[in-house]
């Protein structure tokens, strides 16, 4: 049994992570802004993680074996966490994203299409950090999401107060109404309605992970001892046409695809650039991944059975 603090943990795979940590016998504390209470038996602390004084006061004299940070988006937030949790935990795990590898958002080493992107493509130890950018501005943060994650990783990598690991998640699917990004619904609703889906002429594959598998991996990462970045994706990259075909097979009708040129806007998961991750490091450390094509039809069926939104 370990003492584990989850920052965030109020929705989607974070909520599932809290349940699974608790079911495994760990003493779990959830720290968030109070909008959603954790399940019975889980301690709940309410604080704004951006407010260092409030965060310190909420924690009091508590210490943890592990902190799992689900909602760290900027280097400023990472720096606050580094100061507050230094001496309070021996291990810190941050949930990061595949988007740190997106070549559209940073000058990154070239990886040939078809070659899965390894963790060392983005090395947080050497990544430049700019604390004076307008990270607290919501519009700026949305436009610079990938860079915010890269710089947050960099700050936590360089702190000396605890062992640090980041989990770079692939695109997360599954969960029906809990899949709050709406990206899979974009396909299921359009295919079901016979509406157009825009795709790039030379769309490149990407990688996915089921929300339950990601919760399991984060639970495993919390109680492991590896450090540094770790890619988390199911086996088997898919391109947008393969994704649309799986949706169409479940919906029982053909998708209406319209091709657009490279550089033009297209449907989610249609990429004209390559950044499909390699999960070799996680496999070598002992985590066994599923195949995307084994769980995706079920996730699509679940989404098809979810009442559609008025517009997508």
pLDDT surpassing 60 at residue 221: yes
The confidence score (pLDDT) of residue 263 equals 83
Strand partners, 43: 29
The per-residue pLDDT for range 86-123, each reduced to its tens digit, is 999 999 999 999 999 999 999 999 999 889 999 999 99
- Strand 256-260 relative to strand 171-173, pairing: unpaired
The per-residue pLDDT for range 31-52, each reduced to its tens digit, is 998 877 887 889 999 999 999 9
* Cβ contact 279:232 at 8 Å: yes
Distances (CA, A) of 164 to 38, 213, 293, 307: 25, 21, 32, 41
Distances (CA, A) of 267 to 98, 188, 201, 239: 18, 12, 12, 12
The stretch 204-210 carries a mean pLDDT of 96
pLDDT surpassing 70 at residue 72: yes
DSSP state string for 82-122: HHHHTTTEEEEEEEEEGGGG-TTSS------TTSPBPGGGS
- Mean confidence (pLDDT) of the chain: 92
The stretch 203-230 carries a mean pLDDT of 95
Query: What confidence category does residue 312 fall into, taking pLDDT thresholds of 50, 70 and 90?
Result: very low
The confidence score (pLDDT) of residue 310 equals 45
Query: What confidence category does residue 1 fall into, taking pLDDT thresholds of 50, 70 and 90?
Result: confident
pTM: 0.93
When the candidates are 1.10.3430.10, 3.90.1170.50, 3.40.50.720, 3.30.1360.120, the CATH number that belongs to 3-176+207-235+275-290 is 3.40.50.720
- Closest by CA position to 146, among listed 207, 210, 92, 75: 75
Determine phi and psi for 38, rounding to 5 degrees: -75, 170
Q: What is the percent of the chain where pLDDT is above 70?
A: 96
pLDDT surpassing 70 at residue 308: no
User: CA Rg, the chain, in Å?
Assistant: 20
Determine phi and psi for 240, rounding to 5 degrees: -65, -30
- Domain locations in the chain as residue ranges: 3-176+207-235+275-290
Query: What is d(CA 238, CA 287) in angstroms, rounded to the nearest whole number?
Result: 21
The stretch 188-206 carries a mean pLDDT of 93
């Amino acid at each position: 049994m370990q003492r584990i603090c989850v920052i965030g943990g109020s929705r989607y795979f974070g909520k599932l992570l809290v349940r699974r940590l608790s079911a495994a016998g760990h003493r779990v504390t959830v720290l968030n802004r109070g909008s959603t209470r954790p399940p019975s038996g889980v301690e709940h602390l309410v604080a704004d993680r951006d407010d260092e004084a409030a965060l310190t006061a909420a924690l009091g004299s508590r210490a943890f074996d592990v902190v799992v940070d689900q909602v760290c988006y900027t280097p400023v937030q990472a720096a606050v966490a580094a100061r507050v949790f230094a001496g309070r935990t021996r291990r810190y795990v941050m949930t990061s994203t595949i988007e740190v590898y997106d070549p559209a958002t940073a000058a990154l080493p070239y990886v040939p299409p078809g070659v899965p992107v390894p963790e060392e493509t983005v090395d947080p130890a050497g990544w430049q950090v700019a604390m004076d950018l307008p990270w607290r501005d919501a519009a700026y943060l949305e436009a610079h999401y990938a860079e915010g994650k890269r710089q947050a990783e960099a700050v936590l990598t360089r702190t000396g107060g605890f062992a640090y690991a980041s989990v770079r998640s692939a695109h997360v699917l599954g969960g029906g109404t809990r899949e709050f990004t709406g990206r899979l619904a974009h396909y299921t609703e359009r295919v079901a309605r016979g509406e157009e889906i825009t795709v790039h002429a030379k769309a490149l594959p990407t990688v996915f992970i089921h929300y339950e598998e990601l919760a399991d991996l984060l639970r495993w990462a919390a109680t492991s001892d590896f450090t540094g970045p770790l890619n988390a994706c199911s086996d088997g990259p898919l391109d947008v046409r393969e994704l649309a075909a799986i949706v169409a097979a479940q919906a029982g009708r053909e998708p209406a695809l319209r091709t657009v040129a490279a550089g033009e806007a297209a449907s989610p998961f249609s990429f004209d650039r390559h950044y499909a991750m390699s999960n070799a490091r996680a496999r070598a450390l002992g985590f066994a991944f599923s195949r995307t094509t084994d769980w995706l039809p079920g996730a699509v069926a679940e989404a098809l059975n979810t009442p559609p939104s008025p517009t997508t």
